[in-house]
Structure 1
């Protein structure tokens, strides 16, 4: 039977399994985000496969709580971040974002009152700190990427220590087509990772690229056939875990100091202010307005209309 106990975050269930001579502990707090530990390796798992692991604000909060739990577990030396099912992460669940920002029309169709700047800044600061938690994790994090990796999922992939993807993985910054156009959370990291011209291309065009290109452009360390992905990530994690615990943590701390000398922390403070500004635009009548299209078409069709517009197949609204 599962063992149940209370935490400040609510009720948790711990499952202890034995595989051969090794114990495997599965901790479940919310079905959308899971933490598994297997000896020195922890796995943070996004678990909304039917939604391609589109992440809600509460899911991201919980993901960071579990990241910190893995950091504080002295048996854990390395953390794998993965998505269950066909995709790694399809970005933020847009319906949840609209509700969280108070932009959903009322039951009678009444247009919502625009959120205050102070409430938006508070919400976006929290979001920025969640991204920063992966950038400044105490222990190495490896992203295991298959299927779709877009928006929030791609942000995290850009921020963690190592990343391995399937050749067939599909990446994009399509979220920039919602009115951001190069305004993002961690531009320092993106400029260093891709180079300034490539970073501007990926953010301004928002076009899709595959795993092979991701490896060529420095987003991931390796791109491998999809059937080899899990085994490759596991092999890397076990190799990283051979280092002494103190060496891994102090090595990461010095890495973080180097990042800060390049403006590592400051990029997130700029990022949350930029996100509030970039998601509070005034659209002119001839410009594509995703929120307006969503109110007419629904979320799925509005996304299709957005991509048609930005791919040059649609007309400006």
Structure 2
């Protein structure tokens, strides 16, 4: 398989593995779709980590294959790559992209669909489609401006230039740059931080933020209220409230003595 899925308890690790650069040709796209269907059906899943093999995350779409597409095949190709990143973004659990080497084109757009991004110093980001006579087709023109601001996104997309890891961290494209040997451990630590929280609350928080950012403020506030109310009424909060209050009660008792 060119997309490998392994599990560590409630965390799924999805590794792109099509040597040497993990390019997204049609077979890789279909393999990724199968992996996502597996994740969507997985009971008890609490977080997902995307990685890449062979020292790279993904160098994006297979330009050689794209150059051979007949006009009638373009619509299906475009629909498929757009659907793929939408499926990643729609996963109801925290999604982490742990990246090194090339993170280009569709690979960069896959990372943009994640909730959190961490990379090694070797990471190189780019959306090179515009200089090739295209535009990013898997969410890049929409997610990148929302993440780093419109002006910076325009520069990166218009020029197709490479963004090194230090600049990516400075402009908010990634959340952390860590030594290459710490990349997996950092992604694992973040995933465990999220899996420790209540599943329903995490899913609702993700939905509220993602959908709210695409709506006017008042609509976002209405959605937040609608998601908050059933959580407040549900029994899951009782256990977590008790855990939250216990250390405070113990601290107050100690202070009283």
Q: Which category of TM-score, normalised to the shorter sequence, fits these structures? A: 0.7 to 0.9
Q: What is the alpha-carbon distance in structure 2 between the residues aligned to residue 162 and residue 73 of structure 1?
A: 21
Q: What is the alpha-carbon distance in structure 2 between the residues aligned to residue 169 and residue 186 of structure 1?
A: 18
**Among candidates 169, 172, 184, match of residue 215 of structure 1:** 169
Q: Is the 8 A contact 1:169 1:210 kept in 2?
A: yes
2:30 equivalent to 1:61: yes
Q: What is the alpha-carbon distance in structure 1 between the residues aligned to residue 215 and residue 34 of structure 2?
A: 27
- Comparing 183-192 and 50-59, the one that deviates more: 183-192
Structure 1 residue 183 displacement after superposition = 7.5
Matching residue of 2:118 = 164
Give the TM-score normalised by the residue count of structure 1: 0.64
In 2 relative to 1, CA 181–45 (structure 1 residues): closer, same or farther, beyond 3 Å? Answer: closer
2:59 equivalent to 1:90: yes
Matching residue of 2:156 = 202
Gaps of 5+ in 1: 1-30, 103-114, 263-317
Q: What is the alpha-carbon distance in structure 2 between the residues aligned to residue 77 and residue 129 of structure 1?
A: 22
Q: Is the 8 A contact 1:134 1:156 kept in 2?
A: yes
Find the residue that maps to 2:214 and give its secondary structure.
helix
2:1 equivalent to 1:41: no
Matching residue of 1:229 = 183
Provide the aligned length of Structure 1 versus Structure 2. Answer: 216
Decide which structure has greater strand share: 1
Q: What is the alpha-carbon distance in structure 2 between the residues aligned to residue 208 and residue 186 of structure 1?
A: 15
Gaps of 5+ in 2: 217-257
Matching residue of 1:74 = 43
Matching residue of 2:253 = none
Give the TM-score normalised by the residue count of structure 2: 0.78
Find the residue that maps to 1:74 and give its secondary structure.
coil
Structure 1 residue 181 displacement after superposition = 5.9
1:217-270, Cα deviation, whole Å (9 max, x unpaired): 1111101111211111111111111012222222222223214316xxxxxxxx
2:127 equivalent to 1:173: yes
1:93-115, Cα deviation, whole Å (9 max, x unpaired): 2223234x23xxxxxxxxxxxx2
Q: What is the alpha-carbon distance in structure 2 between the residues aligned to residue 133 and residue 37 of structure 1?
A: 19
2:84 equivalent to 1:130: yes
Structure 1 residue 157 displacement after superposition = 0.9
In 2 relative to 1, CA 150–91 (structure 1 residues): closer, same or farther, beyond 3 Å? Answer: same
Q: What is the alpha-carbon distance in structure 2 between the residues aligned to residue 197 and residue 256 of structure 1?
A: 21
Find the residue that maps to 1:157 and give its secondary structure.
helix
